Amino acid sequence: MNGFSFLWPDLLWLLLAVPLLVALYLWLLRRRKRTAVAWASLGIVKEAMGGSRAWRRHVPPALFLAALVSLLLATARPAAVITLPLVEQTIILAMDVSGSMRAADVEPNRLVAAQNAAKSFIAELPRQVRVGVVSFAGTAAVVQPPTTSRDDVVAAIDRFQLQRGTAIGSGIVLSLATIFPDANIDLSQVTGQRPMPGALAEQKSERDAPPVEPGSYNSAAVILLTDGQRTTGPDSLDAARMAADRGVKVYTVGIGTKEGETIGFEGWSMRVRLDEDTLKNVASATRAEYFYAGTAEDLKKVYQSLGSRLTAQKKETEITALFAGLGAALAVSAAALSLLWFHRVL
C-alpha cells in the first residue's frame, strides 16, 4: 500500500466532532468528581474511583472514540493504491495468419510454432485472466472474444487459415476495439465493414478524447505475434500511437529469421524476412518490449516471460469496509470491557 486518498473527502469535516466529544467527556469527568466530593469524604471518593485501577474507566470510552473515528473515516470512502493479483486483466493475442507465416525458417513453420507457443502460454496464465484472439492478414477479425475458457481460446487458435496480405495495423486497432468495446473505434479500414449510421459523431468524440500516459493502462495488454512485414491496412506505427494514447502496451514478438526464405502460394512466390525495426518501434511507442523468437522453443520462452510480467498490478482500491469493520470491532470491544469491569455498557 503506497498511496492513500478519500473518494468523498468533504465528509472528513465530520471529524471535527471528535475533539468536541473529548471535551464533553472531560467536562463530565470534572462534573462527576465535584458531585462526588460534595457527598462523600475524599477517602470514599478514591475508593469509588477505583484507586490504582482508575485507568480502567477511561479504556471503554477511548475505544468507543477510536471506533467513532474509524467509522467517520469510512463515511469518506478511503481508497489505497495496493498491489493486487490481476482479477480483471484481459490479454489479446493478435496473431498473424498471412501467407508469409507458412515459411519454414521456424520449424515446422512459423504459424504452427506460433500456435503451439500461444497455447503453452495461455495454459500457464492465472485462470481469472481473460484471453481474446484476433487474427489478421489482409483484414483483421476477432476469432475469440475475451474469455476465461482456455478450451475456447485453444479451439480458436487451431482454426487459423492462412490468407493473403499482412495488415499489422489492423490487428492492433481491432485489439483495441476489443479491449474498449464502448469506445466506437472506427473499424472501416480494419474489417472492411462500413461504420454504422449515426456513429460518426461518436467516433469523432472518441478521437478528441485526451490521451493518457503511454503504458499506464494496466487492465489489458496486447501481444502481437508477426514477422513484421506489413503489406496493407493502417500504418503499423499509427496504430501503435493509437494504443499509446489509450495507455495500452503492445508487446511484439518477432517470428522468423532475418534472412527469411522464399515461399510460394497459389502461383506466386516472395521473399519473407523478419522486420525487427517495425516491431521494436511499435513496442517502444507503447512502453512495452520487443522479443525475438527465432525458433519454436524461443517462442515458448517469450510467452512464459510475458506471462510473468502480466500477473500483478497496482490499483486504487476502496477500503471502506476495512475501516467500517475496524470501527465495529472497537465498539464491540468497548462494550465488552465496560460490561466486564463495570457491569454496564459505557
Count Cα atoms within 13 angstroms, Cβ side, for 125: 30
**How high is the pLDDT of residue 199?**
40
The number of angstroms, rounded, from the C-alpha of 149 to the middle of its chain's C-alpha atoms is 19
Q: Nearest Cα to 218, choosing from 309, 282, 147?
A: 309
User: Which domains are seen in the chain, by residue range?
Assistant: 4-82+317-342 (no CATH), 87-310 (3.40.50.410)
pLDDT, mean of each 10-residue run, the chain (346 residues)? 78 88 83 62 52 71 89 90 67 90 83 88 83 93 94 95 89 94 82 50 51 87 86 90 94 79 61 83 93 72 68 74 91 86 74
Spatial distance between the Cα atoms of 188 and 289, rounded to a whole number of angstroms: 29
DSSP structure class, residue 229: -
**How high is the pLDDT of residue 309?**
65
Q: Under 8 Å CB-to-CB from 29, ≥6 apart: which residues?
A: none
Helices in 180-295 by DSSP H: which ranges? 200-207, 236-245, 276-285
Spatial distance between the Cα atoms of 38 and 32, rounded to a whole number of angstroms: 10
Spatial distance between the Cα atoms of 280 and 228, rounded to a whole number of angstroms: 10
Per residue in 235-244, is it b (16+ CB within 10 Å) or e — as a string?
ebbebbbbbb
**How high is the pLDDT of residue 109?**
87
CB 138 within 8 A of CB 165: yes
Across-strand partners of 134?
94, 142
Single pTM value for the model: 0.62
